[in-house]
Structure 1
Amino acid sequence: MRILFLGDVMGRTGRDAVVAALPGLRRDLKIDVAVVNAENASHGFGLAPDMAEAIFAAGADAITLGNHSWDRKEIIPYIAQQKRLIRPMNYPPGTPGEGAVDITLADGRRVLILQAMGRLFMDAMDCPFRATETILARARLGVTHAAILVDFHGEATSEKMAFAHAFDGAVSAVLGTHTHCPTADHQVLPGGTAFMADVGMCGDYDSVIGMGKAPAIARFTRKMPGERLHPADGEATICGAVIETGADGKALRIDPLRLGGRLSPMMPSV
C-alpha cells in the first residue's frame, strides 16, 4: 500500500496548491490513501467546511486538524456529520468529532487513521499515549487493518520520537505536524513503523512558519500587541511524505515529498 500524507495546509496559497496538485500526485505516485492536515487552512487559523470539501474533492481520503481545530466555529456542526474529518483523539470526552476514522478501500482493505496531540509546550490535554492504546486495543496491524497511520500534532521532537518508539510495530507510520518545518529524520524504526518528526507545511516558506514576516518579527522584537498575523501569500511548497507498506501493514520505506516554492524539490520514486 502507498500512503500520501501532506503537512499543515497554510492559508489560501497552501489550499490552492494542494487542491491543484493532489489529483496528479495520487495518479503519478500510485497512491492508495491520501491524508491532509488542514488545521491552518483558513487564514492560518482553523478550517471552514467549504475548504474541507474542496480538499476532499481533490482526492483526500481524510483530513486531520490540531490545536486550531475550533478557530472556525462553523466546523463544529460540520465535524459531527463529516466522519472523515478528525481532530486529536486526546481532547476531553464530550468534545465534538472523533479522533480516528476507519476507511475501507475499493479492494476491501481497511485503513485506520488516527490523530493525537502532544502535551509538551501545548494546551493541557489527556494523555496521547493512553488514548492511542485504547484505540489500538481493538485494531491490530496486518490483521484487522492493512495500515494504521498516526498524525502526531506536537511541538517537541522528543515527545514525537517517544510516541513513535512506544508504538513501533503497532502502527504503519507516525508522522509529525504542527511546527511547519520539515525534518530530515525520516526512517523506518526497528519494529517497522515509519517516522518523521515533522513533514512540514504546505505554504509559502518565504515567511515565519507560514505567516507574513513583518508582523511575526514585530511580536518578537516589540513584545506587545500589533498587527494581526496573516499567512504569507507567495508560491507554496507542498510538503509531506509517502509511505509504502507491506502485506503485514509495516512500513517498507518512507520518502519526503517537496514540490514547488522555495525548498529544494524531492519527489518519491514509484
Structure 2
Amino acid sequence: MLRKNILLILLAMILSTASVFANGGTEEMSELSRLEEIQESGKLVLATGNYIPFEFLDEETNEMVGYDIDLMRLMADKLGVELEVVDMDFTSLIPSLQAGKADVVCAAMYIKPAREEVVDFATPYMETGMVLVVPSDNETIKSTDDLTGLRVGAKMGATSEAVLQDLLDEGADFEIVSYNETVDYMLDLQTGRIDAAVNDLLNQLEFNKTIDGLKIVGEPFTSAKLGIAVKEGDAELLAFINKNLEEFSADGTMDEIYDRWIIGN
C-alpha cells in the first residue's frame, strides 16, 4: 500500500511538472510581440490594388511596383523580412485586414472618418484630391455643377464613387457608373460610353500620359490625405510605421520615392 501511494504521489508530481512546462511554453509563445510575430513569419503581408503610380503591375517582371510598394518594402527591410504583395479589388482591402489576411493596407487610400471607425491609420504620407475628367474636345463641362443628366464614371468602393454619391445626396442629378478598375472607366470615357469621370489627381496625371483624348477640368474639388492602414488596435505595428515614416521624411527617403514615381515616372 505504501509503495502504491508513493507511486501515485510521483505520478502526480510528474503531471504537475509537465503542466507547468506546458503552460510556460504557451505563455512564452503568447509573449511574442506583434513585430516579432511578423519577423517569425518572415514576411510583411501588404494588401493593395492596381492604382498607377502607387501600385501597378510591371508587365516585364510580372511584379507589383510603384510608390506604395517601394515605401512598404523599406518597412519590411526594417523588420528584416520579405514584403509579400497581395493585389486585390479595392473593396476587399479593409475586409482582408480585418480578417487577418494582411498585416497592412497601403493603396493610395484616403483617410476618411468611416474608414477610421474600422481600421487605424498611420500618419498621412501624402496629400492629393479628386478631379473631374472629360473628353479633350468637351467645352461644356467646367465643374461638377455641369453634370446634370450625364453618366459619370468612378471606381467602386473608392473615394471617387463616394464624392459623387455625396453630390447626389446634396441634390445633384446624374448617374454614377461604377467600375472595378479605373482604367476601364477611362477607356469608356475615351470612347464616349460615359460623359465624365472623377479620379484622384495624381492617378489621373498618369492616365493622361497613356490614354489620349482626356483632360482634367479645373483644380481638385476635394482635398484628402493618404494613409497606411493596420487592423484596429494593432498599436505596435502602427507605432513602428509612424516611426519609420518620420525617419524616411527626415532623411530624404520620401522625397526620393516621390521623385521616382510621381515626378519622374
Query: Shorter-chain-normalised TM-score: which range?
Result: under 0.3
Question: Which structure dedicates a bigger proportion of its chain to helix?
Answer: 2
Q: Which of 1 and 2 has greater Rg?
A: 2
- With CA pairs under 8 Å and 6+ residues apart, which has the higher RCO, 1 or 2? 2
| TM-score, with structure 2 as normaliser | 0.27
